[in-house]
A = this chain, B = another copy of it.
Amino acid sequence: MHASTRKLLDERDRADITVPMIAADAGVTPSTIYRRWGDITEVFADVAIERLRPDAPPRETGSVRGDLVAWAQEYLEEMSSPVGRSALRDVVMSGDTNPLQCATFCRTQIETILGRGDPAGSGGQGVVEHVIDHVVAPIVYRILFDLDPLEADRVGVLVDQALDAAVRV
């Protein structure tokens, strides 16, 4: 089902894709899809969540700051692509547990990075919240509301500010 949906999304406008089309491509009946997903919004969200799920732990660069900058720049790049933009929109519009799951993917990657540093010096949970509010949130807000995306160079500044701010709290 996922493969069929992804294939159709690559081929045509999402507004033109219907449950019967996905069913035909996947070789199942439409009612199989309705029974499992309810409607097409949920099918798109399910595909989007799989696209947003990290497929590897964050890259190691030798420092927490370096790992955060590398992860955030990659996240910015992926989410700014047409596929990333659509996936974010599909997740937000589906409601249910999908948006929280998407945010949790980010949180888990950030926690993995911070866990590599000195746990005593990292400020723990406070730092995670700061990175979410000051690095992830601006990246995603600008994409969803069609503002100019963050410049990749600014990601380093935002990471520094988040680490800084967390220390000052």
| Interface secondary structure of A, over-half rule | helix
Q: Are B89 and A146 in contact (CB under 8 A)?
A: no
- Contact status of A146 and B93, CB under 8 A, knowing A140-B141, A141-B140, A161-B165: no
Instruction: Report the interface size class on chain A.
Output: 20 to 34
Give min CB distance, A64 to chain B, whole Å. 20
Inter-subunit contact B102/A93 (CB<8 Å): no
Once the chains bind, are B95 and A147 in contact (CB under 8 Å)? Answer: no
The B-contacting residues of A in range 138-159, CB under 8 angstroms, are: 138, 140-142, 144-147, 150, 157-158
Closest chain B residue to A107, Cβ basis: B147
Instruction: Give the distance in Å from the alpha carbon of A138 to the alpha carbon of B161 in the complex.
Output: 14
In the complex, what residues of B have CB within 8 A of residue A17's CB? none
The answer on a CB contact under 8 Å between B146 and A141 is: no
- Provide a sorted-by-A list of 23 A–B residue pairs whose CB atoms are within 8 angstroms: A97-B146, A99-B144, A100-B145, A103-B141, A103-B145, A103-B146, A103-B147, A133-B137, A133-B138, A133-B142, A133-B158, A134-B134, A134-B138, A136-B141, A137-B140, A137-B141, A137-B142, A140-B141, A140-B145, A141-B141, A157-B169, A161-B161, A161-B165
The 5 A-B residue pairs with the shortest CB-CB distance, nearest first, are A137-B141, A93-B93, A133-B138, A103-B145, A137-B137
